[in-house]
Structures are given as C-alpha cells and as structure tokens.
Amino acid sequence: MELVQAYNHHVQPQQTSVLAQAASSREMEEVKAQIFMARQFPRNVFEAERRILDACKRQSLAEVAIYSYPRGGTRVEGPSIRLAEVIAQNWGNIAFGVKELEQRPGESVAMAYAWDLETNVRQEKIFVVKHSYKSKGQIKHLEDPRDIYEKVANDGARRLRACILGIIPGDIVEAAVEECKKTLTGNNKVPLKDRIANALKAFKEKFRVTQEMIESRFGYKADAFTEYDYLELIKIFNSLKDGMSSVDDWFERPAKEEPSQLAKSFEENQKQKGKAAKKGKAETEGDVKPNDDEIEAKENGFEQGELPFD
C-alpha cells in the first residue's frame, strides 16, 4: 500500500508536468501558424481602411461607436470598445482578447492583449478583478461563476480597447470616428424630434435621468435640441452604459425644495381661517340669532311680517 501511494505521489506531478508541456507546445504551434499565415497573406492597408469606413456607415454601429465623459472640467470622448473591435476585425491579422490567468479567493488575475501578427507589435495589460461590486453604498460579493465571468469581461473591455487602439494607426481610428459622426448626423430617416423623445425615454428608464435634468445640463429645452445635441446624448448614454462614468458626473439631481417662510405663514393663515369658519358654522347651526331688522321691528311694536306703513 505504501509503495502504491509513493508511486502515485511520484507519478501525478509528472503527469501534470507533461500535460502542461503539451498545452504549452500546442499553443506555441498555434502562434507560429498564425504568424506564418499573416506573413503569407499580408493586409492591404487601403482595402482594410475602406472596409473599416464602410462598417462605420452602419447606423447600428455608429450609435454605439463613441463614448464621452467629463474629466477635470473638460469633456473626453473617443472610440468605444465596439468600434475598436470592428476596426481590429477589418484591419486584419490581429489577435486580441481577454484571458483569465488565475482565480484566487475573492479576486481574479486577467490579461487583455492585442497583437499585430505582421509587425509583431503587441500591447497587453495585466489587471486584478475583485469578485465584488458596489451598489447603493454597499459592497456585494460575487459567488456565482457566471457573475464572476461577466465581471472579468466587463473590467477587461476597457483594457482591451486600450490595447487595440495602441497598435492601430491613429489616423485610421480618427477617420472611423468621423465617419460614425457623419452617419449619425446625416443618414437618419427617423425625424429628429422622435429620436430625441426616444433618447429621453431611454435615459429615464435605464438610468432614472429625467428630461428636466437633461435640459438643465444643456441649458435649454429639449424642443430646441439639434443633431449635435442628439449626438451628445448618445455619447453620454454610451458612457453610462459602458461604466465609463456615472449619472452624477453628468447631471445634477434635483434637490428637495423647502417651502419659504412666506409660504409657511400663508398656509398657517389658511388653516386658522378654516378652523374659524368651521367654528362659526357650528355656532350658527346650534343657536340661530335674530338679525338687526327683526330686533328693531320688535322694539317699535311690529311683529315680523308687518310693515310700519300698513
């Protein structure tokens, strides 16, 4: 029995080492194959740029292509992760993604990377993802594997975008952003009024941002919004949806208005008048007093209903 245990103790680490070496060798061969194919079929830069700009003419992509958020009193905007993915796919010969390297109690270690297989330019970012999130001022811990996976994917999206944009030429990215803006402002068949109404509805349903809060930020009524204002709403919505900013970064929540002293005094007077009216009505119903004409008639010897000239 002891010999069997000793044998298993000796063999299991060897088997683990062999499996690890096999996996490493297989991954290395896959990388070599990708590099070989990239060298055999290099990208056509002009054709890749045309494909990227054609993709940016799609309305569905243009609506989620740009994010915007405030920082230090200024506004920062740029291509979203969705646009970065489309650029990488159409640029060609790029390997990119997010990998979970290690999962420890309460946290995961992950890596976002983008690798141009033709030029051998590589960007990667290693980061730690806590298995928790903050909601309504409280820290909630994640235990479901699916929730942990989604948390790693969401946190890795911003790093992945940075990696992709780090290896794509800047002028290509700028051209894609401008093409998306043209799509949003020029190729819309739905009336601007209806689009703005849908945007206001989406803000209220998803982030509880009212029309008054939006109008307060822009400084004028929604009826006066232009195409550029609508584009700005889309950027803010994408920023909130991607977690790049919070509602408080963009909008001021309405404070509860306290009634003024004059309003309080008026309300108190109204209450006093109401009490006095009720009291007078009760006295009138309980004891009916004669009016001045009836008293004068009795003093002159006339009964009610008799006139002095009869």
pTM summary value: 0.62
Helices and strands in the chain: count of H runs, count of E runs: 12, 7
Confidence band, pLDDT 50/70/90 cuts, at residue 308 = very low
Query: Residue 84 above 80 pLDDT?
Result: yes
Query: Residue 281 above 70 pLDDT?
Result: no
The overall average pLDDT reported for the chain is 80
Per-residue pLDDT at 138: 84
Confidence band, pLDDT 50/70/90 cuts, at residue 278 = low
Per-residue pLDDT at 187: 58
pLDDT, one tens digit per residue, over 88-125 is 999 999 999 999 999 998 899 999 999 999 998 999 99
Query: Residue 270 above 80 pLDDT?
Result: no
Of 25-34, 131-140, 145-154, where does the model show the most confidence?
145-154
Per-residue pLDDT at 256: 59
Query: Residue 306 above 70 pLDDT?
Result: no
Separation between Cα atoms, residue 102 and residue 192, nearest integer Å: 49
Separation between Cα atoms, residue 31 and residue 26, nearest integer Å: 9
Better-predicted residue by pLDDT, 310 or 249:
249
Of 12-26, 79-93, 183-197, where does the model show the most confidence?
79-93
- Beta-carbon count within 10 A of 59 CB: 13
Residue type, 174: E
pLDDT, one tens digit per residue, over 217-238 is 888 888 888 877 888 898 899 9
Query: Residue 244 above 90 pLDDT?
Result: no
Query: Residue 192 above 70 pLDDT?
Result: yes
Separation between Cα atoms, residue 249 and residue 302, nearest integer Å: 85
Better-predicted residue by pLDDT, 103 or 263:
103
- Closest of 55, 56, 59, 51 to residue 187, by C-alpha: 59
- Closest of 112, 120, 131 to residue 32, by C-alpha: 120
DSSP 284-297: HHHSPPP-HHHHHH
| DSSP-derived 3-state class of residue 206 | helix
Better-predicted residue by pLDDT, 25 or 274:
25
Per-residue pLDDT at 96: 94
Confidence band, pLDDT 50/70/90 cuts, at residue 126 = very high
- Closest of 255, 251, 241 to residue 210, by C-alpha: 251
pLDDT, one tens digit per residue, over 155-189 is 999 999 999 999 999 999 999 999 998 888 775 56
- Closest of 45, 124, 56 to residue 85, by C-alpha: 56
Query: Residue 259 above 60 pLDDT?
Result: no
pLDDT, one tens digit per residue, over 23-44 is 777 778 877 888 888 888 888 9
